[in-house]
Structure 1
Amino acid sequence: MVNSKTIALGIVKGVGIIVLAALALYFLYLIQSVIIYLVVSLILTLIGNPILDFLKDRLKFNHVAATITTLLFFLSIIAGLIMLFVPLILDQGRNLSLLNTAEIEKDIIVLKNQFGAFLESHNIDSTSFFSEANIPSEFNFSFLTNFFNSILGMISNFGIGLASVMFITFFFLKERRLFAINAKNLMPNNQEERILNSLNKINHLLSRYFIGLLLQLLIVFILYLCVLLIFGVENALVIAFLCAVLNIIPYIGPLIASVIAAILTMLCHLGGDFQTEILPVTIYVMIGFWVVQIIDNNISSPLIFSKSVNSHPLEIFLVILIIGFLFGITGMIIAIPLYTILKVFGKEFFPENKLIQLLTKNI
């Protein structure tokens, strides 16, 4: 029989484990900025590895020169994006009154009243319509203030973050062999080859994936921008940029982008007549965005992602759907990289499993 002393020791041990886990989580919370820097640096390292190898193998750069050149390449892209987008986004953001919640509330109410008048002119009771649609009579956008203040805070700390990320990325690229050797020493001898093969494949596939993601966002941004410019929407650049960034969230992101594009398009044309100007332009923009999403969902995304991680488009869709149901939007964002990692380890450690053979035949 288990005596009281054994039970007490078990309880103390369990409580101790819980306390240590809580302290570990709290510590991770305190250093969340450092964790973000490490994750971003790891992503840049994965993207930079093919560039580094190209410079060394094709252009005969030495390792340090290739590493510095790769970092300068990243910095030039970041500097170019800052000079291209930030002044325009700040200027057009002011035009959209993105930081003035009171102005947004007033514009939304005016827009609602115009829409109500449009319904009444077509013999539709606007009061009943708004009531059935659960549209409130007043709007509270105070949450936007905190959101944009946090964004501004991030921008103000961007210099420190960029310097930290570049510093970490430099050593990730420069000392990648040293990291590999140290990791190798920590591995069990009987699993060393399998683990190294898995890490090499994961590095290769995720490098291609993140490059493909950047390419997809660029394509979507250009298409969104073309739609907005064709229909004469003001502040087209900032709207296209915001909507393209939302495409990071698979499937749901484009739907949110369409709603945001519709609202911002109506706000940009608020001075015009609702029936003859605001409504038609908004409908045209929505149709244009849907066409872009059809192109992205059926052509660009499946081709880019299926080729980058060697998975079938239907396979990718089902994985995103399942992980999205389990872990929400965050799960959808990390679904493809996580699935790729699991596939690689599955192929290395369980090569005889028929399901894994079927899923990993292309990697």
Structure 2
Amino acid sequence: MFMQLFQWYKTRFSDPNLSVLFLLLLFSFIVIYLFGNILAPLFVAIVLAYLLDWPVTYLMRFKINRTFATLIVMLLFISISIFAFLGVLPTIFKQAASFIRDLPTMLNQGQAYILTLPAHYPDAIDPVTITHIIGTIKSYLVDSGGFLLSQSFASILNIAALLVYAVLVPLMMVFMLKDKNQLIASMARFLPQNRKLAAQVWSEMNGQIMNYIRGKITEILIVGVATYFTFFFMDLRYSALLAVLVGLSVLIPYIGAAAVTVPVAVVALFQWGISPEFAYLMIAYGIIQTLDGNLIVPILFSEAVNLHPVVIIISVLIFGGLWGFWGVFFAIPLATLVKAVLNAWPAVQADLDDIELIEK
């Protein structure tokens, strides 16, 4: 058995570049997994600086030095962030509070309707079963409400930390963008020498990751804005809150669209009942989802690496379970990275075998 393991190791890691690539990936995973909470501001700053590097590089084409380009981009980024927090989030929070306030009324209406089902369908529905189901749902909602309340108090206690992050993250972003080349050169000194394969994989992935992130942010904005105006003009309650949920649902392929349809349908059903307005809203919502899947996604991600839907879903589950929101956001790029590494691994070994045959 030990001989087989040794032979496997010798076959797979005979090239130093392969060993370095494996160790770099393993080290990165361990650091993020073990110290993710502690280094969260640093990781957030790295991700945002990576996203904003493209407009900084674009401005430098007009003979603007990197420092001035960084200041311009950061001012725009901070302005947009302040507008989102002061202009958009209060409306969303207000509608969320209204939804929570109206939730008991909606539940009572739903309970009253469910209790009428045994009278209409006595042979198919048992009243005892209905009562048991309603009791179970109430217990779950009470427990969930207590959990949300505790989390709210915990969030209030963390306001000081959030304020620190609000200053610390932009400050780190400025230095990362302004001194990008110096920081990369300084980090390269601590990396092993045999990193040719790692550099090759990163070079292949860099453009794909950037295209994916830009496309995903564009998709969120398009779907969210289109959904908001549709819900607003059709006078659906909690239109901003539901539009944000629909926009963020595109982060989770296949699963997100199906999951967010439930609150949209429930709110529309309690507002209008089974009526033409309900049907019109669901048709409009279905058109948005159809255009997103068949028009927006192919245009924005035409150059994306082809991954099987099962692989995408598994990646979302694994990386989302490991790193939460950011794991879901980067699930597809991470899956593409794993695919690129696996594709490069046997290719390098095949090249080594060809060299040995030539030498013989």
Q: Report the CA distance between 1:168 and its aligned residue.
A: 1.6
Residue by residue over 1:96-140, the C-alpha shift from the partner in whole angstroms, topping out at 9 and shown as x without a partner, is: 2x3x5xx523431222313544x478x334953893797323512
Letter in 1 for 2:199: L
Q: TM-score, normalised by structure 2?
A: 0.72
Choose from 305, 310, 315 the match for 1:323: 315
Q: Report the CA distance between 1:259 and its aligned residue.
A: 0.9
Tell me the secondary structure at the aligned position of residue 183 of structure 1: helix
Letter in 2 for 1:45: A
CA contact (8 A) 2:319 2:331 kept: no
Choose from 189, 198, 201 the match for 2:201: 198
**Partners in 1 of 2:183 and 2:194 — Cα distance?**
20
1:70 is matched with which residue?
73
**Partners in 2 of 1:70 and 1:120 — Cα distance?**
62
Choose from 253, 256, 261 the match for 2:256: 253
Letter in 2 for 1:339: A
CA contact (8 A) 1:319 1:335 kept: no
Q: Report the CA distance between 1:78 and its aligned residue.
A: 0.7
Q: 1:93 to 1:71 in 2, by over 3 A?
A: same
Asked whether 1:183 is paired with 2:187, we answer yes
CA contact (8 A) 2:231 2:239 kept: yes
1:1-363 maps to which residues of 2 (within 5 A)?
A: 32-57=36-61, 59-96=62-99, 98=100, 100=101, 104-114=103-113, 116-117=115-116, 119=117, 123-125=120-122, 128=126, 131=129, 135-137=133-135, 139=138, 140-141=141-142, 142=145, 143-149=147-153, 157-192=161-196, 194-267=197-270, 269=271, 277-280=272-275, 281-307=277-303, 310-312=304-306, 315=307, 317-324=309-316, 333-345=329-341, 351=347
**Partners in 2 of 1:339 and 1:26 — Cα distance?**
19
**Partners in 1 of 2:342 and 2:210 — Cα distance?**
19
**Partners in 1 of 2:263 and 2:308 — Cα distance?**
26
Cα RMSD over matched residues?
A: 3.6
Structure 1 alignment gaps of length 5 or more? 1-24, 270-276, 355-363
Q: 1:353 to 1:316 in 2, by over 3 A?
A: farther
Q: Relative contact order: is structure 1 or structure 2 higher (C-alpha 8 Å, sep ≥ 6)?
A: 2
Tell me the secondary structure at the aligned position of residue 135 of structure 1: helix
Q: Report the CA distance between 1:26 and its aligned residue.
A: 12
Q: 1:238 to 1:41 in 2, by over 3 A?
A: same
Q: Report the CA distance between 1:164 and its aligned residue.
A: 1.6
Residue by residue over 1:142-196, the C-alpha shift from the partner in whole angstroms, topping out at 9 and shown as x without a partner, is: 233234445666667543222121112112212221222123222333334x433
Residues matched between the structures, number: 310
CA contact (8 A) 1:217 1:245 kept: yes
Residue by residue over 1:179-238, the C-alpha shift from the partner in whole angstroms, topping out at 9 and shown as x without a partner, is: 22123222333334x433433443333222221111111111123223323432122112
Residue by residue over 1:282-308, the C-alpha shift from the partner in whole angstroms, topping out at 9 and shown as x without a partner, is: 45434433332232223323432343x
Q: 1:197 to 1:68 in 2, by over 3 A?
A: farther
CA contact (8 A) 1:45 1:172 kept: yes
Residue by residue over 1:298-357, the C-alpha shift from the partner in whole angstroms, topping out at 9 and shown as x without a partner, is: 3323432343xx313xx2524213334656665654321212323454566654589xxx
**Partners in 1 of 2:128 and 2:44 — Cα distance?**
45
**Partners in 2 of 1:211 and 1:106 — Cα distance?**
41
Tell me the secondary structure at the aligned position of residue 249 of structure 1: coil
